[in-house]
C-alpha cells in the first residue's frame, strides 16, 4: 500500500474560488470553511430525520441519513489520509453528499423523479444538493446559499455521474467531459462501503437473517467468520457478527486504497490535470474487494431491500409523496409562503418538488396527516 504522488492531491491554493469573493480566514483554509458551512446548514441537520433504508419505528439503533453521512466521512477521510489526498476537501464532500436527499430514502427520490417526468423534467438529488448550497440555504448577508468553492460544488454535481460535453441545465461551468479530482472520486465508493456494511449491520439487528445464513450466502463473510471463530472461539453470536463486520469494512477500505493506487500507477497520471483528462475515474476497488462489495449488495437486495417489510414501507412512502405532490399541484396556492408566491411566477411543479424534497420524513408524515391525505 502506498501513498500517491503529492502532485495528485488537489492543492487548496489552486482552487477556482467562490462565486462571491470573500476575505480569507486567519486560520481556516477555504475547504475547511466549506466543511464548516455544510455542518452549519439547515439541510445538513435535516438529515437526522431522513430514512436511510429502515424506518425508525422498527428500532432506535438504525442509521439515519445523518449517521450514515458521518460514517461516509470517516471512511473517506481515512482513505484520503492514507492516499495523501486533501482530507478537508474530501470531508466537505462526504458531509455534503446526501444533503439533497428527499424524504423516504430511494422510494422518495424515485417518486419525485416520476412526478417531474410528467412535466418532461427530472429530480436528481445531486442537482438538488447544488440548488440547496447555491440558493436555498439563506444565512449569510453577503450572498445567497453557502458560497462554497468551485471544487466542492463540482464534487457535489459529479458525485455519482459525469457531466457530458454539451449537457445543458446550468451545469456548463462544471467542466463537462472532465473527471473531478481524486478527492471527489473517493466519495461514491466510500458511500457504497458505508451503506453496504451498515445495512448489513442494521438488517442483522432487525432479524432479517442470521449469522449462519449470511455465511452460507456470502463467500467474503464466510472467510471472515472462519477467522473470527479461530481468534474468538468463545464469543457470542452478536460479538462475532461485529468482529466479522469490522473485518469486512477493513477489507473494503483497504481494497479501495490499493485499487486506487494500482489504477493511478497503471494510468501513469502525474498531476490533477492528468486525473481530470483521464478517460475514466481512477478511484476504484481491487478486483477482490469489488467482488466482495457485489456479493454484499446482491445479498442485501435479496434479503433486505426486496423483503416484504421494506417493500411495504416503500409503497407507503411512494403513496405519501404522490398524494402530497398531487394535493399542491391541484392548487399551488395551498403551498405555504414563500413557495406559493414562487409558484405564481415560476413552474408550480418545480416549486412543489423543491418544497417536498426539503422535507424530513417526520414533517412529510405530519403534513399528510394534517391534510387528511
Residue 49 contacts Mg ion per CB under 5 A: no
The three cell numbers locating residue 38: 455544510
Q: Which is nearer to Mg ion, 149 or 196 (CB)?
A: 196
Residue 191 contacts Mg ion per CB under 5 A: yes
Residue 109 contacts Mg ion per CB under 5 A: no
User: Using CB under 5 A, which of the segments 35-43, 190-198, 274-282, 318-326 binds Mg ion?
Assistant: 190-198
Q: How far is the CB of 98 from Mg ion (least distance, A)?
A: 4
Distance, in Å, from the CA atom of 228 to the CA atom of 32, rounded to the nearest integer, reads 39
Q: Which is nearer to Mg ion, 98 or 109 (CB)?
A: 98
Query: Long-range contacts for 54-62 (Cβ within 8 Å, ≥24 apart)?
Result: 54/202, 54/203, 54/206, 54/310, 55/313, 55/361, 56/361, 58/206, 58/309, 59/202, 59/205, 59/206, 61/202, 61/205, 62/202, 62/205, 62/206
Q: Which is nearer to Mg ion, 44 or 339 (CB)?
A: 44
133 in Cβ contact with 145 (< 8 Å):
yes
Nearest Cα to Cα of residue 370 among 331, 324, 325: 324
User: Using CB under 5 A, which of the segments 6-14, 140-148, 187-195, 226-234 binds Mg ion?
Assistant: 187-195
Spell 239-263 as b/e; 16+ CB within 10 A means b.
ebbebbbebbbebbbbbbbbbbbeb
Q: How far is the CB of 194 from Mg ion (least distance, A)?
A: 7
Counting Cα atoms < 13 Å in the Cβ hemisphere of 159 gives 25
Count of residues of this chain found to bind Mg ion when the rule CB under 5 A is applied: 2
Distance, in Å, from the CA atom of 150 to the CA atom of 157, rounded to the nearest integer, reads 11
Q: Which is nearer to Mg ion, 33 or 65 (CB)?
A: 65
Residue 199 contacts Mg ion per CB under 5 A: no
Q: Which is nearer to Mg ion, 75 or 182 (CB)?
A: 75
Q: Which is nearer to Mg ion, 86 or 192 (CB)?
A: 192
User: Using CB under 5 A, which of the segments 191-199, 215-223, 276-284, 288-296 binds Mg ion?
Assistant: 191-199
Nearest Cα to Cα of residue 305 among 220, 230, 200, 218: 200
User: Using CB under 5 A, which of the segments 97-105, 202-210, 263-271, 328-336 binds Mg ion?
Assistant: 97-105
Residue 98 contacts Mg ion per CB under 5 A: yes
Q: Which is nearer to Mg ion, 153 or 240 (CB)?
A: 153
Q: Which is nearer to Mg ion, 51 or 149 (CB)?
A: 51
Q: How far is the CB of 188 from Mg ion (least distance, A)?
A: 9
Residue 71 contacts Mg ion per CB under 5 A: no
Closest residue by beta carbon to Mg ion = 191
Distance, in Å, from the CA atom of 280 to the CA atom of 334, rounded to the nearest integer, reads 47
139 C-beta neighbours (distance < 10 Å), count: 11
Q: How far is the CB of 192 from Mg ion (least distance, A)?
A: 8
Residue ranges that bind Mg ion, judged by CB under 5 A: 98, 191
Amino acid at each position: 500500500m502506498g501513498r500517491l504522488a503529492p502532485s495528485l492531491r488537489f492543492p487548496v491554493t489552486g482552487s477556482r474560488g467562490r462565486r462571491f469573493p470573500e476575505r480569507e480566514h486567519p486560520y481556516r483554509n477555504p475547504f475547511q470553511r466549506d466543511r464548516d458551512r455544510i455542518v452549519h446548514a439547515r439541510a445538513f441537520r435535516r438529515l437526522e430525520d431522513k430514512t436511510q433504508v429502515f424506518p425508525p419505528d422498527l428500532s432506535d439503533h438504525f442509521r439515519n441519513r445523518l449517521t450514515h453521512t458521518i460514517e461516509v466521512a470517516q471512511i473517506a477521510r481515512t482513505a484520503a489520509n492514507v492516499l495523501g489526498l486533501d482530507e478537508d476537501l474530501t470531508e466537505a464532500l462526504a458531509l455534503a453528499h446526501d444533503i439533497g436527499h428527499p424524504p423516504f430514502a430511494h422510494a422518495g427520490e424515485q417518486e419525485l423523479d416520476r412526478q417531474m417526468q410528467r412535466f418532461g423534467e427530472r429530480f436528481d438529488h445531486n442537482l438538488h444538493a447544488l440548488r440547496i448550497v447555491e440558493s436555498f440555504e439563506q444565512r449569510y448577508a453577503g450572498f445567497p446559499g453557502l458560497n462554497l468553492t468551485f471544487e466542492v460544488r463540482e464534487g457535489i454535481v459529479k458525485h455519482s455521474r459525469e457531466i457530458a460535453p454539451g449537457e445543458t441545465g446550468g451545469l456548463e461551468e462544471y467542466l463537462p467531459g472532465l473527471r473531478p479530482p481524486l478527492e471527489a472520486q473517493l466519495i461514491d465508493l466510500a458511500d457504497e462501503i458505508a451503506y453496504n456494511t451498515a445495512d448489513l449491520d442494521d438488517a442483522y439487528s432487525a432479524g432479517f437473517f442470521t449469522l449462519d445464513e449470511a455465511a452460507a450466502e456470502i463467500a467474503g463473510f464466510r472467510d471472515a467468520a472462519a477467522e473470527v471463530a479461530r481468534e474468538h472461539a468463545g464469543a457470542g453470536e452478536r460479538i462475532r457478527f461485529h468482529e466479522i463486520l469490522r473485518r469486512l469494512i477493513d477489507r473494503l477500505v483497504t481494497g479501495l486504497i490499493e485499487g486506487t493506487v494500482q489504477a493511478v500507477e497503471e494510468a501513469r497520471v502525474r498531476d490533477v490535470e492528468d486525473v481530470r483528462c483521464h478517460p475514466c475515474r481512477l478511484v476504484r476497488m481491487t478486483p477482490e474487494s469489488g467482488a466482495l462489495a457485489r456479493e454484499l449488495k446482491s445479498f442485501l437486495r435479496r434479503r433486505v431491500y426486496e423483503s416484504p417489510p421494506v417493500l411495504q414501507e416503500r409503497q407507503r412512502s411512494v403513496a405519501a409523496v404522490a398524494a402530497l405532490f398531487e394535493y399542491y399541484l391541484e392548487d399551488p396556492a395551498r403551498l405555504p409562503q414563500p413557495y406559493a408566491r414562487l409558484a405564481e411566477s415560476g413552474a408550480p411543479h418545480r416549486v412543489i418538488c423543491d418544497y417536498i424534497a426539503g422535507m424530513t420524513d417526520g414533517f412529510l408524515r405530519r403534513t399528510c396527516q394534517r391534510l387528511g391525505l
